[in-house]
Amino acid sequence: MSVMTATLPPAAAVRSVADIRRDFPILAREVHGRPLTYLDNTASSQKPIQVIEAMNRYYREMHANVHRGVHFLSETATAAYENARLRVARFINAPHPKQIIFTRNTTESLNLVAYSWGRAHLKPGDEVLITEMEHHSNIVPWQLVCEMTGATLRYVPITATGELDFEALPRLLTERTKVFAFTAMSNVLGTINPVAELVAQAHAVGAIAVVDGAQSVPHLATDVQALDVDFLAFSSHKMLGPTGIGVLYGRRSLLEAMPPFLGGGDMIREVKMSGSRWNELPYKFEAGTPAIAEAIGLAAAIEYLEGLGMDWVGAHERELTTYAWNRLHEVEGLRILGPEPARRGGLLAFVLGDIHPHDVAAILDQDGIAVRAGHHCAQPIHDHFGLVATTRASFYIYNTPEEIDRLVLGLYKAKALFDL
């Protein structure tokens, strides 16, 4: 099965991981007297100095509101903001920057589609298809919109190995399906889904394809034209950029036909007491003052990733994931959820005997190791495997095999403390 692919950026000068780490000030600090080992990248990545300085430069040299002013600062800020949109469009190979909508995060992007497209098009008898491996952000909005419209919500189950049950798909994806919404990469299982194939199957029955790219876009080269997606949502803060800004890419014909999601300034063309007319794309969906500094920070993050090359990013993470998979399997009593490294992204969610994942994470934290513990906003996955929570270690461009070794030593420490 094919996975997400794209034309790669020009080859950049190869940099060592040690050199890359020097760009991230936070990695030099200590936690509880130990060097910080940051393995919580699936939740949020750290930021290089290039991103931090780009945002500082905006506030120092050009801060003003965008789109509304004719003075120098406003025009300068507007140019930087719209350049960020262009940079995002090029990064995912969108046909036009007008198809890039800035939101607060992946969650808001998916809600925008569910409410704006869903409320306008869904009706009783229609079906929305999602999967059992979705983040809550790609479950709850569809639950709410189905309740509002009378549509039925169905889901594709997952297998014992944490992959989609493709044998069940033909009976679930039918002419009644109007939306097929699915993740490109699971934030718990690490499973990489065959996006292009799933999109093609959705289109074959007349459904639109909505892709949660929160975990895939930061790690895999992504080409929305090659994938033929109708909507793709992702977040800045998971790809070296700041919090508070996300992206929705949409097919232009769909976006133009959709009603606004929020009302207010900048999303209008004309307002009268008798009614209003909406602005053109993308501004129709960007009500109020946008996250200007954050957009500039996102552009800097994309520039950084492109400088490394997304092919290098993916290769580095595959090496780390394979190494971590092998090392963690040395720990007796540890169980990893999801498929083997060749079919997964750079994260491992696991349970260690009967030790609660929060206790595992707390013990690791005492050694400066940051991991995630809980249901990771994906309770249906945990229900499927009969679990309340898991511990999750996740990797990015600045992580090293030595940090994985520290993780394993910490897990042995947890076993000893709990006499496991």
Residue 377 annotated among the catalytic residues of the structure: yes
Q: Which two structure tokens, joined as six digits, stand for 260? A: 């606004």
* pLDDT at 212 > cutoff 60: yes
Q: Which fold has domain 52-306?
A: Aspartate Aminotransferase; domain 2 (3.40.640)
Kindly state the helix (H) or strand (E) to which residue 128 belongs, with its residue range. strand 127-131
For 231-262, b/e burial (b = at least 16 CB within 10 A) is bbbbbbbbbbbbbbbbbbbbbeebbeebebbe
Helices (H) and strands (E) in the chain, counts: 15, 17
Residue (of 285, 286, 344) closest to 320 by Cα position: 344
Residue/partner pairs of 253-259 with CB below 8 Å, 24 or more apart? 254/117, 254/208, 254/230, 255/99, 255/101, 255/281, 255/282, 255/284, 255/285, 256/281, 257/120, 258/116, 258/117, 258/120, 259/116, 259/120
Percent of the chain with pLDDT over 70: 97
d(CA 97, CA 242): 20
Among 349, 331, 406, which Cα is nearest to 36's? 406
- pTM higher than 0.85, yes or no? yes
Quote the tokens at residue 397.
Answer: 């461009």
Contact (Cβ atoms closer than 8 angstroms) between residue 404 and residue 324? yes
As to burial, measured by CB atoms within 10 angstroms (0-12 exposed, 13-18 middle, 19+ buried), residue 118 is buried
353 CB-contact burial (10 Å; exposed 0-12 / middle 13-18 / buried 19+): middle
Q: Are strands 100-103 and 30-31 parallel, antiparallel or unpaired?
A: unpaired
CB proximity list for 268: less than 8 A, separation 6 or greater: 276, 277, 278, 279
Write out pLDDT tens, residues 7-52. 334 444 568 999 999 999 999 999 999 999 999 999 999 999 999 9
The first and second tokens of residue 111, run together, are 């809600």
Q: Is the pLDDT of residue 6 over 50?
A: no
Q: How many CB atoms lie within 10 A of CB 26?
A: 12
Out of 64, 140, 205, 377, the active site residue is 377
SS3 at position 233: strand
Q: For residue 418, count CB atoms less than 10 angstroms from its CB and return exposed for 0-12, middle for 13-18, buried for 19 or more.
A: middle
- The domain spans of the chain are 17-48+309-417, 52-306
CATH no. for 17-48+309-417: 3.90.1150.10
CA angle 161, 167, 171 (to 5 degrees): 135
Per-residue pLDDT at 5: 33
Instruction: Say what percent of the chain tops pLDDT 90.
Output: 90
What's the distance, CA 65 to chain centroid?
A: 28
| pLDDT per position as a tens digit, 49-68 | 999 999 999 999 999 999 97
The predicted structure's pLDDT at residue 246: 98
